A = this chain, B = another copy of it.
Amino acid sequence: MEASEAGRGTGGSGTAGQVWLRTPARAGRAAPPLTRERIVEEAVALLDAEGADRLTMRRLAERLGTGSTTLYWHVKTKDDVLDLALDAIFAEVEIPPEGGQGWRAGITALINGWRAVLLRHPWSAALLSRPMLGPNVLARSEFLYATLLEAGVTGPGLTAAAYGLSNYVIGSGLMQATWPTGAEREVRRAAREYLHANRERYPVLAAHGPLVADDDWETGFALGLTWILDGIEAGIARADERGPMSAGR
């Protein structure tokens, strides 16, 4: 609030010849000047705190101590804010060092970090349905492709491997972030009761239901990941025995 007050100045400038009464120089402002980075940063904070549907340009502007209109100088649409916020959180995914302990370790680390980010910012799950072309996403995709390529994955298997891994993380993150936790835990309980009540129609689900504990997510995800990695590895082995050093046909 004081930021907004300080930025507004003393208004009519009629009797305001006194420097002391006027707005201090821009550098002296309480809040740093508005930049695209600051907007995105605050948008992520707001999304983390209140979720995707509570993000409006007005509320975001209020948190930044400016008017909502101002945001549109730095950003074209609200969708831009969402795209930027989505890419911004991918910066948290650490890219493993180049010469690591083998390609499986590197890829596993990347995928796990990716997944951790998706779960740390659950709102991102709902945003994954837009093309991700930001620099942070691309950098991590680049690492993924490079690591696979160096491991010996080539041709159509490369795309399949990269997409398989990506799709698996995204699906998992989406599924788990979707699932009500915390305060909405009653929804979860209600779902379990519903399944139990209709256990004649869904006998297996009611018995071995998908409403797993939090730990099961971890182990299940890790298990599925090893399956995919095993499949990729088997593909490399087959390619190698067909022709270990011979390129092409």
Contacts and interface: CB of A to CB of B under 8 A. Distances in A.
Interface of A: 125-126, 128-131, 133, 135, 138-139, 141-142, 145-146, 149, 156-164, 166-172, 174-175, 177-180, 187, 191, 194-195, 201-205, 208, 210, 212, 216, 219-221, 223-224, 226-228, 230-232, 234-235
Nearest to A205: B142
A137 to B, nearest CB: 11
A128 B159 contact: no
A130 B175 contact: no
Interface of A is mostly: helix
A195 B135 CA distance: 10
Contacts of A221: 160, 163
Nearest to A156: B219
Contacts of A166: 171, 175
A178 B223 contact: no
Given A161-B224, A163-B175, A166-B175, 10 more contacts: A131-B187, A138-B202, A142-B201, A142-B203, A145-B208, A159-B208, A159-B220, A160-B224, A169-B171, A171-B171
A160 B223 contact: yes
A130 B125 CA distance: 10
A231 B220 contact: no
A235 to B, nearest CB: 8
Contact of A131 (B138, B180, B216): B180
Nearest to A226: B231
A161 to B, nearest CB: 8
Nearest to A172: B167
A149 B228 contact: no
A145 B231 CA distance: 23
B149 A204 contact: yes
